[in-house]
Structure 1
């Protein structure tokens, strides 16, 4: 999916803090408020917002068009326009500093959105909010921070960026969220950045999300956001090349002292690709599950990602409890998991929970810390929750290797293989990372990971490794996220 449009703007208008809405909107007679600008321009127009602080809520209900081109709202190049929510209300109980309602052909680029907060569970502040239905929406290079709820409990919610597809069959589609920086959020029970309801054909790429107290990126379904349950899933999307770190719910009043915040969370989504992301120092690196009984996240590919130094599991599939949903047909291929479960939760590097069905875990490097848990399939609700093979396992000196199958712990690869019937071609050997102390998790030329994977086809393994190199070289594929 492209991250921009080809059309040149038909007309450029300007906004400045010292402008006047009685002016012409020109560079020499700019308008004063962003809201006046978005209400006044037409399809194909460009709104250039000069640097400065704008203490206003902005709502976009107009649309560009395929014929005339998008409406483009951006900071003047080299300057930063700041939408600051200090002291502003939260209309309708849930609103954004910048809100798009049933808008299409819109690009928002290079803005800073900050300082929007509540102390009430009745209000939900959002940095950038897209809702209703719409197409061809680009959110590029924005900086969102300091969005807070200080209320207690799981009725407290705030979001940095939120997309809700609230109509059916009309969806939010052809959506690109690229190159944004999102940080310093106090979220209660919500996500830093989420897609929910009837949202399809989307890409979340090259964003940086950090220093928040709940989930970084979520693709969600079955929450009743869309009026028709058949359309109530984020679907047919990609989460790629994002950098996510310092994500933890520990100390969040909604969770207490639980390590429950995911770097990337698919909760009821379907047909989603998660690739080439770096997630570190999160609670759970990547999780694919459903919080709704009888529902699943399905047909998800998790490939060529690096997850390290997490507090709990590196990658987790299946529902967190027997009363919720699970995961179906999730392929976890060619990832590198390194020294997760730093808080010694017992979750391990790869965790398999409830209602996991027809999943695969293949070609991964799994290097545990001294906690030692490599794979943890602790439930007994499925005789075959996942197929595992061609994985390379190792752990730090001083640890005791542990694999768990059907709730029983095994201390050797041979015992694990015998009990589970899995990992027939797995190895227990040092992957020989180049510089693990500095988290350079490429492998050395003589590593047992080199050329020992199984090529499942480009549709599964991808065409590029974590670093953008060819995923398959000379007909062979390496284990882990890097191809040598």
Structure 2
């Protein structure tokens, strides 16, 4: 009884001038066997409905949801405060609280859990599942944050089986769903968003994405999430879709420490019928029109595209994005892509691709190579990357001539065709040897063609052996390489930075 009482009421200490509005932060409880006529302040007197708890909770309160299955929606429109604290909804410790949307109607664009223009809200530790619709232009979401607000934490949730099964129109529209979506739709941004430790899987997304920040969203972190086996994009930051009336561009964010795999559009009718189709265009990690973002220490494999920095909108750019210390391997079309996918798209400007390991991407024969430069790439830097070709022998693929000011150097290349049988395409000119490519383009003056000597690539161990030519062979620009490698080890241990995602200890 004593432990329950201590958990139920914790007094916040406030400055003297604020004591007239002080609130004793309260722990509330929701249970499948509870009643909304109960006080809700202990497991034995729990409420029954999530919405009743949301309507009652105030800054500093925590709502513990006991184990069980809740066939309920949860909509939060009340805010916590910086002084009073977060309004928190979380699973009761060591119990599995399941929010299940089976049979619930999806109204327009709606989350099973929804935060509407609220601040200082935390959602933690839930299983969120089975929110689906077969109606066109209706968008089910596991967690949906929209409007404006700040200090939103989405932590350690398991989101799965969120689906749109609607038939697409002839223009392939009408079928959309999201696992977790943050849409800044107002002139005031959604800011200070942390999305950490979530798992998102078995999502049927149509034209939409597993985990997305879109529109007027700033100062976000998408970290340590596991995203896999979904039929469209894994993690994405988006701009220029008309989501917000101003500042319509996700920005000032970090995408770090995530693992993304088995993301493919080939069974997605929103990309054309019949399925499976041949549209290998679903990214593991994507920035589409965002800016000022760091993508680091992620692992992206067995997707259609490992990482992409591009803009789908004419006259708009993805800019000032750094992709560093990522492991990108065995993706179907290409490892890392930049630039618009055709000449009606936008551009990639001032981005940095540094210290990544790209291994045997381009697995389906679409000749995307390890690095794909598409339409309108300007003033980007590509350095310190390991690129190992697949059986296609293509290392860099750049079939567009609109390519200006891009710097490519200090990379390590390797492939089954050797230095004289590998391919580089630059400004739509193909080079069949490393020496011809360097001479013809002026790129890679300090780069190497050599086996990188991984510890055990066959077992996906891409750490560098002590004898690797990548050790101490990179260009040490401390402003861009980051402080740690993909394992969290110091980024520079020897005389210079190592090439690739791993710094040999």
What is the TM-score normalised by the length of structure 2? 0.92
Q: Show structure 2 runs of 5+ residues with no match.
A: 1-11, 14-23
How far 1:208 sits from its partner (Å)?
0.2
Matched position secondary structure for 1:174: strand
1:59 aligns with 2:75: yes
Q: Is the 8 A contact 1:368 1:394 kept in 2?
A: yes
2:271 corresponds to which of 249, 255, 259: 255
Aligned to 1:268: 289
Aligned to 2:216: 198
CA distance in 2, matches of 1:193, 1:137: 15
Aligned to 2:185: 166
Aligned to 1:105: 120
Matched position secondary structure for 1:28: helix
CA distance in 1, matches of 2:415, 2:283: 23
Matched position secondary structure for 1:282: coil
How far 1:398 sits from its partner (Å)?
8.7
CA distance in 2, matches of 1:368, 1:199: 37
Runs of 4+ displaced beyond 2 Å: 152-155, 396-400
1:479 aligns with 2:495: no
CA distance in 2, matches of 1:398, 1:425: 18
1:157 corresponds to which of 153, 169, 176: 176
Aligned to 2:329: 308
Aligned to 1:216: 234
Q: Give CA deviations for 1:316-340 in whole Å, capped at 9, x if unaligned.
A: 0000010110100110000000010
CA distance in 2, matches of 1:397, 1:422: 20
How far 1:155 sits from its partner (Å)?
2.3
CA distance in 2, matches of 1:106, 1:15: 17
CA distance in 1, matches of 2:344, 2:362: 25
Cα root mean square deviation, aligned: 1.3
1:412 corresponds to which of 433, 442, 461: 433
Matches within 5 A, 1:459-470: 459-470=479-490
2:382 corresponds to which of 350, 361, 364: 361
Q: Give CA deviations for 1:215-261 in whole Å, capped at 9, x if unaligned.
A: 00010000111112xx0000000000000000000121011420010
Q: Give CA deviations for 1:422-472 in whole Å, capped at 9, x if unaligned.
A: 100111100011101001001111111000001111x30000000110001
Aligned to 1:21: 36
Aligned to 2:145: 130
CA distance in 2, matches of 1:404, 1:72: 53
CA distance in 1, matches of 2:474, 2:46: 60
1:387 corresponds to which of 381, 393, 407: 407
Q: Is the 8 A contact 1:370 1:398 kept in 2?
A: no
CA distance in 2, matches of 1:112, 1:122: 25
1:433 corresponds to which of 450, 454, 463: 454
How far 1:386 sits from its partner (Å)?
2.1
Q: Is the 8 A contact 1:16 1:31 kept in 2?
A: yes
Q: Is the 8 A contact 2:196 2:225 kept in 1?
A: yes
Q: Give CA deviations for 1:118-172 in whole Å, capped at 9, x if unaligned.
A: 112120000000001111111100010001111233321000000000111x111
CA distance in 2, matches of 1:396, 1:57: 54
Aligned to 1:10: 25
CA distance in 2, matches of 1:154, 1:427: 46
Matched residues, number:
472
Aligned to 1:298: 319
How far 1:385 sits from its partner (Å)?
5.3
How far 1:419 sits from its partner (Å)?
1.3
| Bigger Rg, which one | 2
1:288 corresponds to which of 309, 333, 358: 309
Aligned to 2:130: 115
Q: Give CA deviations for 1:316-365 in whole Å, capped at 9, x if unaligned.
A: 00000101101001100000000101111111100000011000110000
Aligned to 1:186: 204
How far 1:421 sits from its partner (Å)?
1.0
CA distance in 1, matches of 2:161, 2:154: 18
CA distance in 2, matches of 1:154, 1:388: 39
How far 1:397 sits from its partner (Å)?
6.0
How far 1:474 sits from its partner (Å)?
3.5
Matched position secondary structure for 1:36: helix
CA distance in 2, matches of 1:249, 1:305: 22
Aligned to 1:326: 347
Aligned to 1:35: 51
Matched position secondary structure for 1:38: helix
CA distance in 2, matches of 1:217, 1:157: 15
